Amino acid sequence: ELKVEQNPLFLSMQEGKNYTIYCNYSTTSDRLYWYRQDPGKSLESLFVLLSNGAVKQEGRLMASLDTKARLSTLHITAAVHDLSATYFCAVLNFGNEKLTFGTGTRLTIIP
Amino acid sequence: KAGVTQTPRYLIKTRGQQVTLSCSPISGHRSVSWYQQTPGQGLQFLFEYFSETQRNKGNFPGRFSGRQFSNSRSEMNVSTLELGDSALYLCASSSDLGTIYEQYFGPGTRLTVT
Protein backbone atom coordinates (compact mmCIF):
# COMPACT_ATOMS: atom_id res chain seq x y z
CA GLU A 1 0.00 0.00 0.00
CA LEU A 2 1.32 3.41 -0.96
CA LYS A 3 2.29 5.58 1.99
CA VAL A 4 3.09 9.27 1.78
CA GLU A 5 4.92 11.07 4.56
CA GLN A 6 5.41 14.77 4.89
CA ASN A 7 7.61 16.66 7.24
CA PRO A 8 7.51 18.78 9.13
CA LEU A 9 3.88 18.65 10.22
CA PHE A 10 4.04 22.18 11.57
CA LEU A 11 6.32 24.95 10.46
CA SER A 12 6.49 28.41 11.89
CA MET A 13 8.86 30.72 10.12
CA GLN A 14 9.67 34.38 9.98
CA GLU A 15 8.98 36.50 6.97
CA GLY A 16 11.90 36.70 4.62
CA LYS A 17 13.32 33.29 5.54
CA ASN A 18 13.71 30.21 3.35
CA TYR A 19 12.52 26.72 4.17
CA THR A 20 11.75 23.35 2.61
CA ILE A 21 8.90 20.89 3.06
CA TYR A 22 9.67 17.25 2.32
CA CYS A 23 7.42 14.58 0.88
CA ASN A 24 8.50 10.92 0.85
CA TYR A 25 6.50 8.12 -0.68
CA SER A 26 6.83 4.38 -0.49
CA THR A 27 6.22 2.93 -3.96
CA THR A 28 7.05 3.81 -7.52
CA SER A 29 5.17 6.70 -9.04
CA ASP A 30 6.05 9.57 -11.30
CA ARG A 31 2.99 11.66 -10.69
CA LEU A 32 3.24 13.96 -7.72
CA TYR A 33 1.00 16.88 -6.85
CA TRP A 34 1.25 19.76 -4.43
CA TYR A 35 -1.86 21.45 -3.08
CA ARG A 36 -2.51 24.39 -0.82
CA GLN A 37 -5.41 24.59 1.61
CA ASP A 38 -6.47 27.70 3.50
CA PRO A 39 -8.47 27.25 6.71
CA GLY A 40 -12.02 26.14 5.98
CA LYS A 41 -11.35 26.12 2.26
CA SER A 42 -10.84 23.51 -0.43
CA LEU A 43 -7.62 22.38 -2.06
CA GLU A 44 -5.91 24.58 -4.60
CA SER A 45 -3.57 22.92 -7.08
CA LEU A 46 -0.05 24.34 -6.98
CA PHE A 47 2.17 22.01 -8.98
CA VAL A 48 1.97 18.82 -10.99
CA LEU A 49 5.32 17.01 -11.28
CA LEU A 50 5.39 14.38 -13.98
CA SER A 51 8.89 13.00 -14.27
CA ASN A 52 12.16 12.46 -12.50
CA GLY A 53 14.06 15.69 -12.11
CA ALA A 54 10.99 17.84 -12.75
CA VAL A 55 11.22 21.30 -11.24
CA LYS A 56 8.46 23.88 -11.26
CA GLN A 57 8.38 27.37 -9.82
CA GLU A 58 5.62 29.83 -9.14
CA GLY A 59 6.46 33.00 -7.31
CA ARG A 60 8.18 32.15 -4.03
CA LEU A 61 7.40 28.44 -4.29
CA MET A 62 9.48 25.86 -6.10
CA ALA A 63 8.75 22.13 -6.25
CA SER A 64 10.99 19.32 -7.39
CA LEU A 65 10.72 15.57 -7.83
CA ASP A 66 13.30 12.81 -7.48
CA THR A 67 11.56 9.55 -8.39
CA LYS A 68 14.60 7.44 -7.62
CA ALA A 69 14.71 8.72 -4.05
CA ARG A 70 10.89 8.82 -3.96
CA LEU A 71 11.15 12.36 -2.67
CA SER A 72 9.61 15.66 -3.55
CA THR A 73 10.42 19.01 -2.00
CA LEU A 74 8.52 22.27 -1.81
CA HIS A 75 10.91 25.15 -1.25
CA ILE A 76 9.75 28.49 0.04
CA THR A 77 11.91 31.50 -0.70
CA ALA A 78 11.72 34.74 1.28
CA ALA A 79 8.43 33.80 2.92
CA VAL A 80 5.59 36.30 3.14
CA HIS A 81 2.48 36.19 5.31
CA ASP A 82 0.22 35.28 2.36
CA LEU A 83 1.91 31.89 2.15
CA SER A 84 0.47 30.84 5.50
CA ALA A 85 -1.63 27.75 4.76
CA THR A 86 -1.52 23.96 4.93
CA TYR A 87 0.40 22.32 2.11
CA PHE A 88 -0.27 18.77 0.97
CA CYS A 89 1.61 16.54 -1.37
CA ALA A 90 -0.22 13.70 -3.08
CA VAL A 91 1.02 10.75 -5.10
CA LEU A 92 -0.91 9.00 -7.84
CA ASN A 93 -1.37 5.23 -7.61
CA PHE A 94 -1.01 3.80 -11.05
CA GLY A 95 -3.60 1.23 -11.87
CA ASN A 96 -6.33 2.74 -9.77
CA GLU A 97 -5.76 6.47 -10.35
CA LYS A 98 -6.16 7.06 -6.65
CA LEU A 99 -4.45 10.01 -5.02
CA THR A 100 -2.81 9.26 -1.69
CA PHE A 101 -2.21 12.39 0.33
CA GLY A 102 0.48 13.23 2.81
CA THR A 103 -0.40 14.40 6.30
CA GLY A 104 -0.03 18.04 5.36
CA THR A 105 2.34 20.73 6.62
CA ARG A 106 0.74 23.64 8.44
CA LEU A 107 2.85 26.66 7.59
CA THR A 108 2.61 29.84 9.62
CA ILE A 109 4.57 32.89 8.57
CA ILE A 110 5.33 35.28 11.41
CA PRO A 111 5.92 38.97 10.66
CA LYS B 1 -15.07 27.53 -17.29
CA ALA B 2 -17.03 26.96 -14.11
CA GLY B 3 -15.29 25.01 -11.38
CA VAL B 4 -16.41 22.02 -9.39
CA THR B 5 -19.53 22.71 -7.36
CA GLN B 6 -20.77 20.88 -4.30
CA THR B 7 -24.07 21.10 -2.52
CA PRO B 8 -24.93 21.63 0.20
CA ARG B 9 -21.96 23.45 1.66
CA TYR B 10 -22.91 22.78 5.25
CA LEU B 11 -25.06 20.09 6.79
CA ILE B 12 -26.00 19.07 10.31
CA LYS B 13 -27.44 15.62 10.84
CA THR B 14 -28.25 13.36 13.77
CA ARG B 15 -26.74 9.95 14.42
CA GLY B 16 -28.59 7.23 12.58
CA GLN B 17 -29.82 9.48 9.79
CA GLN B 18 -28.65 9.30 6.24
CA VAL B 19 -27.29 12.05 4.01
CA THR B 20 -26.76 12.66 0.31
CA LEU B 21 -24.11 15.02 -1.01
CA SER B 22 -23.92 16.25 -4.58
CA CYS B 23 -21.03 17.17 -6.84
CA SER B 24 -21.07 18.72 -10.29
CA PRO B 25 -17.73 18.37 -12.09
CA ILE B 26 -16.10 20.78 -14.47
CA SER B 27 -17.79 20.64 -17.85
CA GLY B 28 -16.26 17.89 -19.96
CA HIS B 29 -14.74 16.03 -17.02
CA ARG B 30 -15.93 12.45 -16.72
CA SER B 31 -14.05 11.35 -13.61
CA VAL B 32 -15.29 12.31 -10.16
CA SER B 33 -13.50 11.33 -6.96
CA TRP B 34 -14.64 11.76 -3.38
CA TYR B 35 -12.45 12.34 -0.34
CA GLN B 36 -13.10 12.63 3.37
CA GLN B 37 -11.01 15.07 5.38
CA THR B 38 -10.84 14.91 9.17
CA PRO B 39 -8.32 16.36 11.63
CA GLY B 40 -7.40 12.88 12.84
CA GLN B 41 -7.21 10.88 9.62
CA GLY B 42 -6.35 13.60 7.13
CA LEU B 43 -7.47 13.29 3.53
CA GLN B 44 -8.75 9.83 2.65
CA PHE B 45 -9.95 8.55 -0.70
CA LEU B 46 -13.53 7.28 -0.73
CA PHE B 47 -14.23 6.30 -4.33
CA GLU B 48 -13.96 7.36 -7.92
CA TYR B 49 -16.56 7.25 -10.67
CA PHE B 50 -15.95 7.36 -14.37
CA SER B 51 -18.68 7.21 -17.00
CA GLU B 52 -21.29 6.17 -14.42
CA THR B 53 -19.17 3.27 -13.12
CA GLN B 54 -17.33 3.04 -9.85
CA ARG B 55 -13.75 2.59 -10.96
CA ASN B 56 -11.93 2.67 -7.63
CA LYS B 57 -12.85 2.37 -4.00
CA GLY B 58 -11.10 3.26 -0.77
CA ASN B 59 -11.27 1.50 2.58
CA PHE B 60 -14.58 2.75 3.91
CA PRO B 61 -17.53 0.72 5.19
CA GLY B 62 -20.47 -0.06 2.98
CA ARG B 63 -22.46 2.74 4.62
CA PHE B 64 -20.63 5.01 2.19
CA SER B 65 -21.87 4.70 -1.36
CA GLY B 66 -22.04 6.79 -4.46
CA ARG B 67 -23.22 7.02 -7.98
CA GLN B 68 -22.66 9.01 -11.10
CA PHE B 69 -25.20 10.15 -13.61
CA SER B 70 -24.96 10.36 -17.38
CA ASN B 71 -24.12 14.08 -17.16
CA SER B 72 -21.16 13.17 -14.89
CA ARG B 73 -22.74 14.68 -11.80
CA SER B 74 -22.11 12.51 -8.79
CA GLU B 75 -23.80 11.90 -5.48
CA MET B 76 -22.42 10.39 -2.33
CA ASN B 77 -24.63 8.79 0.28
CA VAL B 78 -23.85 7.94 3.86
CA SER B 79 -26.37 5.83 5.72
CA THR B 80 -26.74 5.30 9.47
CA LEU B 81 -24.56 8.27 10.31
CA GLU B 82 -22.06 8.02 13.13
CA LEU B 83 -20.36 10.82 15.06
CA GLY B 84 -17.10 9.90 13.37
CA ASP B 85 -18.56 10.73 9.97
CA SER B 86 -18.32 14.42 10.81
CA ALA B 87 -15.87 15.71 8.24
CA LEU B 88 -15.27 17.87 5.23
CA TYR B 89 -16.22 15.89 2.13
CA LEU B 90 -14.40 16.96 -0.97
CA CYS B 91 -15.17 16.07 -4.52
CA ALA B 92 -12.65 16.37 -7.32
CA SER B 93 -13.06 16.10 -11.06
CA SER B 94 -10.58 15.16 -13.74
CA SER B 95 -10.71 15.03 -17.50
CA ASP B 96 -8.96 11.64 -17.50
CA LEU B 97 -7.37 12.59 -20.80
CA GLY B 98 -3.65 12.61 -21.40
CA THR B 99 -1.22 11.68 -18.69
CA ILE B 100 -1.39 14.54 -16.24
CA TYR B 101 -4.51 13.39 -14.44
CA GLU B 102 -4.84 16.60 -12.48
CA GLN B 103 -7.73 16.70 -10.06
CA TYR B 104 -9.66 19.90 -9.43
CA PHE B 105 -11.35 20.13 -6.08
CA GLY B 106 -14.72 21.58 -5.17
CA PRO B 107 -15.35 23.76 -2.10
CA GLY B 108 -16.46 20.81 -0.03
CA THR B 109 -19.45 19.92 2.11
CA ARG B 110 -18.93 20.20 5.83
CA LEU B 111 -21.00 17.53 7.55
CA THR B 112 -21.58 17.66 11.28
CA VAL B 113 -23.18 14.65 12.96
CA THR B 114 -24.64 15.23 16.43
Q: Do A97 and B56 touch (CB under 8 A)?
A: yes
For an interface test with B, give the residue of A44, A98, A105, A106 to mutate (most B CBs within 10 A): A98
- Tell me what the mean pLDDT of segment A27-42 comes to: 88
Give the pLDDT confidence score for residue A29 in this predicted structure.
77
Cβ neighbours for A72, distance < 8 A, ≥ 6 positions apart: A22, A23, A25, A32, A34, A49, A63, A64, A65, A66, A89
pLDDT at A72 over 90: yes
Q: Do A48 and B43 touch (CB under 8 A)?
A: no
- Classified as helix, coil or strand, B15 is coil
The contacts of residue A55 (CB under 8 Å, 6+ apart) are: A62, A63, A64, A65
Q: How confident is the model at residue A92 (pLDDT cuts 50, 70, 90)?
A: confident
pLDDT over 90 (residue A84) = yes
Q: What is the mean pLDDT of residues B68-93?
A: 97
pLDDT digits (tens, 9 = 90+) for B32-48: 999 999 998 999 999 99
pLDDT value, residue A93: 78
The DSSP 8-state label assigned to residue B25 in this structure reads P
Contact A73, A24 (CB under 8 A): no
A105-to-A15, A87, B71, B77 alpha-carbon distances in Å:
17, 5, 36, 30
The per-residue pLDDT for B98 is 59
Q: How many CB atoms neighbour CB A7 within 10 A?
A: 14
pLDDT score at B2: 78
Contacts of B56 in chain A (CB under 8 A): 96-98
Q: What is the mean pLDDT of residues B71-90?
A: 97
Average confidence (pLDDT) over A28-35:
86
As a whole number of angstroms, the distance between CA B103 and CA A61 comes to 20
Average pLDDT rounded to a whole number, residues A58-81: 94
- Nearest residue on chain A to B48, judged by CA atoms? A98
Q: Please tell me which residue, A69 or A95, carries the higher pLDDT value.
A: A69
Work out the pLDDT band at B99, boundaries 50, 70, 90.
Answer: low
